[in-house]
Structure 1
Amino acid sequence: MTEQANENRAPEEAEAANTPATDAPEFQADTEAFLRLAKENEELKDRALRLAAEMENLRRRTQRDVADARSYAVTNFARDMLSVSDNLRRALDAIPPQALEAGDAGFKSLAEGVEMTERAMLSALERHGVKKIAPEGERFDPNFHQAMFEVPNSEVPNNTVVQVVQTGYVIGDRVLRPAMVGVAKGGPKAGEAPAQAADTSQAE
């Protein structure tokens, strides 16, 4: 009987010997090390993703800066050239109209030469992204226009540009020089005129 009991306990003891002791210090140490490595791995992964995002943002900013440098590199030069263009226009305006009407060859040749020079200069500036602002008849926009005076005019909506004193220019989507303008005062607010017209037609 004793021998049979010993034989029955032998497989159980062998199985117990092969089963890992989860409470053993070595097992706990291995588990803690695994968890620590997993956490470090997640931190490294997160850091790598952030670094990749920062590099992508840097690449985009660099591309934008390069594009801006190409588009606006001539800004200061273009602004100086506008002063020259203004002087050419003043020279044209200084030529007596009577001399041109009388067919004075000297004044006519001078006017033609100055006009050709002005057109060539503005054409060259336009090739580099500089364009005129032609705001007459448009609503006043402080981002592109500089109001110099008000003109009493009830026939157009209030704050409509009715006169351009000095031509404005933009380079790309930036203002190189605002247009100096006169704006209407005393007319209906923008958007009111159509409603008033509709009311008048209904009354009739």
Structure 2
Amino acid sequence: MLNIATFATRSARSAFRIQMPCASLSGLGAVRSTVAPFNARFYSDAKAEEKTETEPKSELDQCLEKLETKEKEVAELKDKFVRSIADFRNLQETTKREIQKAKDFALQKFSKDLLESVDNFDRALTVIPEELKTQGASYNKELHDLYEGIKMTQNVFEKTLAKHGIVKVNPMGEVFDPNVHEATFEIPQPDKEPGTVFFVQQVGFSLNNRCVRPAKVGIVKGE
């Protein structure tokens, strides 16, 4: 009996000793299982972030960045090129206008010097008697030939001026225009419209549709 009791007591003590370490180890394992994953994730995230910061750009990314930079440079150069073409064309048009103005001014000065000669032709023809104009050579052959010669010379001279844009302006019967006419007097005319030209004292001239000398005229005075 004693041996059986002693054996039972020893067996119970051995079982108690074996269970205590296992329980302690299981509790420690539970704690470790709770803490270890947190430490592992923290370490992994830190390593991933550090790897992202220090990882060099790939060759494709570098090529894309260079391509984007070159495209911006090409766009800027294209814009400058288009602006340069527009400025050059504007300069061409401005130069053409300035050259034309210079030509017109030079011709205008020259035409004004010739207007005296045209006026002299008109003065020479106005002194011819009306009988000579109606009767012709039967009135006076020498005077008639002189009249015809002056008239032909006047026509050739005026045609030559017209080729260069210098045109005689005779505003008889036209409405008075202060831009191209110069009124020297006004007289009431019952049978004519007020403000119209009824007498031309001196003809005017235009150069390329621009007045270089206004015509001196008499106009109908309104009531």
Normalised by the length of structure 1, the TM-score is 0.68
Check conservation: 1:138, 1:161, Cα contact below 8 A.
Answer: yes
Q: 1:155 offset after TM fit, Å?
A: 2.9
1:145 matches 2:178: no
Counterpart of 1:126 (choices 157, 162, 177) is 162
**Mapped partners of 1:87, 1:137: distance in 2:** 24
Separation in 1 of the partners of 2:47 and 2:162? 93
Q: What is the Cα-based RMSD across aligned positions, in Å? A: 3.1
Is 1:157 the counterpart of 2:190? The answer is no
Match of 1:135 in 2: 171
Whole-angstrom distance in 1 between the partners of 2:53 and 2:215 = 86
Q: Does 1:65 align with 2:101?
A: no
For residues 136 and 18 of structure 1, do their structure 2 counterparts lie closer, same or farther at Cα, with a shift above 3 Å needed? Answer: farther
The one of the two structures with greater contact order (alpha-carbon pairs below 8 A, sep at least 6) is 1
Residue segments in structure 2 that go unaligned for 5+ positions in a row: 1-31, 55-75
Give the CA deviation at 1:20: 5.2
Distance in 2 separating the partners of 1:135 and 1:157 = 15
Deviations 1:93-145 (A, max 9, x none): 22334456453121111111111110011000101111222322221111000
Could you say which structure has the higher helix fraction? Answer: 2
State the alpha-carbon separation in 2 of the partners of residues 57 and 122 from structure 1: 37
Relative distance call for 1:149 and 1:108 in structure 2 (3 A) is same
Q: Deviation per CA, 1:14-59, whole angstroms, max 9, x where unpaired?
A: 23224559xxxxxxxxxxxxxxxxxxxxx99998887665544332
Letter in 1 for 2:99: V
Distance 2:152 2:38 in 1: 121
Deviations 1:159-181 (A, max 9, x none): 11111111111111321110110
Letter in 2 for 1:68: K
Identical counterparts, % of pairs: 35
Corresponding position of 2:210: 174
Question: Which of 98, 102, 123 is the aligned partner of 1:90?
Answer: 123
d(CA) in 1 for partners of 2:191 and 2:130? 32
Counting only pairs closer than 5 Å after superposition, residues 13-32 of structure 1 correspond to structure 2 as: 13-19=46-52
Does the C-alpha gap of structure 1 residues 135 and 98 become closer, same or farther in structure 2, counting only changes over 3 Å?
Answer: closer
Shifted more, 64-73 versus 142-151: the winner is 64-73
Conservation of the 8 A alpha-carbon contact between 1:150 and 1:185: yes
> Whose Rg is larger?
2
Would you say how many aligned residue pairs link Structure 1 and Structure 2? 167
Paired residue type of 2:213: R
| Equivalent residue, structure 1, for 2:140 | 104
Q: Which moved more, 1:55-64 or 1:141-150?
A: 55-64
Alignment of 1:184-195 (within 5 A): 184-186=220-222
8 A contact 1:150–1:184 mirrored in 2:
yes
Instruction: Give the aligned partner of residue 31 of structure 1.
Output: none
Normalized against structure 2, the TM-score is what?
0.63
Partner SS state of residue 74, structure 1:
helix
Gaps of 5+ in 1: 22-42, 188-204
The question of whether the paired residues in 2 share the 8 Å contact of 1:154 and 1:185 is answered with no
